[in-house]
A and B are shown apart, each in its own frame.
Chain A
Amino acid sequence: MNFSTLTKALSGGLALSAILTGVALADPAVIYDLGGKFDKSFNEAAYNGAEAWKAATGGSFLDLELQNDAQREQALRRFAGQGANPIVMAGFSWTAALTAVAPEFPDTNFVVIDTVVDAPNVQSILFDEHTGSFLVGVLAAMKSETGTVGFVGGMDVPLIHKFYCGYAQGAKAANPDIKLIENYTGTTPAAWNDPVTAGELAKAAVDAGADVVYAAAGGSGLGVLQAMKDAGKFSIGVDSNQNYLQPGSVLTSMLKRVDVAVQNALTEAADDATFKPGLTVLGLANDGVGYAVDDNNKDLLTPEMIAAAEDYKAKIIAGEVTVHDYTTDSACPL
């Protein structure tokens, strides 16, 4: 066998194996955002949704944790090129990468959570975080003895302002005299994974009189929960149910059912017949957002607090109470 036949044989083999992988892989793919698969918060909710889908259907999925922003397009192309379908992405930072890649793979169904990408093969899922945050704001204001409640956001972006704005409106609704302290961990994606700074912000809020602090900060939120536990005060978790992380100190968690969204996406987007490209909004009415009550926090919430939260929930669903959405006009009227 001379060199050229060897090369031909090799390249033939490679091409064949490439085709085989292409055919074999019709598995869906889930790509998490920076912050890590097990951040006990947003990404972990996405992972739990995928695991629930796996348990329910017996299927299998591919997943990937990003290490940095530059990997986004590359990861999408790789999965799409391998034939993964559908591809589910969690995180608002996917806009640019998906806008670029989606037209290149018209036969692949993409689902993106927390941002909107306008393409015929993309389903964009948004949550009404402001209404869920409104409810935990009501609970925070009713729990507070000092009349001051805090907020620690992750990266300073409109989405996180949306959380704050809903929270602030809820707190004001329950107690018009409430004082609010608003902080953000940072201005780069590293702010999702900086528990030390977030904890320091929570301590500063406690020093300024806050006794309930809401952490909407992904992995950084763990530092807030820890700092509030150390101070003997209360915190509010986000995205996943974080009540169990510091039992007795986490007042409640603002649930954002990313897990449900991912599970549904994996089921529906796999088939073009059920795939719903365009915008899907999950809110209070369809249990896309809410607040968590379980054994870890049931002693922290009084029946009056629950009743007030449920009352507002019903009114928001019925349209009697409108919660302003920060992202519509980049302003938060209080």
Chain B
Amino acid sequence: MMDFLKRFSRNRGAVIGAVILITVVLLAVLAPLLYPESPWKMVQRPFLPPFSVEGFPLGTDTLGRDVASGLVHGARVSLIVGLVSTLVALLIGVPLGAFAGFYGGLVDDGAMRFTEFFQTIPNFALAIVLVAIMEPTLPTITLAIAIVSWPPVARLVRAEVLSLRKREFVDAARLAGLSNTRILFGHILPNAMSPIIVMASLMVATAILLESSLSFLGLGDPNIMSWGYMIGAARTVIRSAWWLSFIPGVAILLTVLALNLIGEGLNDALNPRLARKGR
């Protein structure tokens, strides 16, 4: 563990990413304390530029809502959707890929055809269709994002399992009389964890981008303030009040960037040999 932290912190970008992410998480967690009022509430004149009126550091939007409040509450949505959809995608992708790689043959063929099918479908278009048809709510958006995100997980896990199951320690486990499930879960999957963790951190980032894109198109949960919605709502006034689109975009950019940096740091820390090779 100490080793891991040491290797992780050797990557300067990863440390910056961690700091940014911790800040975002803190803001999201503390949102009800910082801005107890609903972010939808109109609190001032509309179109206040940032830093023009005390108490509204980021100004107000087209309807006089507090941009800072929206930003903080939006962080909650981004993080929750990002995390939960990634978890769901892992729940689909890891077992599917693991069984495909471990059992091979027909199981593999079937699972991979299924995965390929989902990978062929343009994923953002599928997410749009799914959300549009299921009605946009937080759970449907999360589910739709999970449904379009799992194929790469399945492929990665399958590839890892395929290479691990040929290792001699797996043969040894088999000769010890272990059952298939015990070999798969006790010996193979633990050795595949590092790349899965790295991929998961990048998937959270992608999920946040997907969520913001959906709500930008008006496919967000109408009851929940999100960054994508804020940008979408300010789109019509882009010529007169560009900062209304600019500010939430920076929030998305920073969060996604942070997650990517952390992903690279994790990669360096968890696969030291590979990292050195790539440098």
Does B associate with A? no
Chain B residues within 8 Å of A, Cβ to Cβ? none
Chain A residues within 8 Å of B, Cβ to Cβ? none
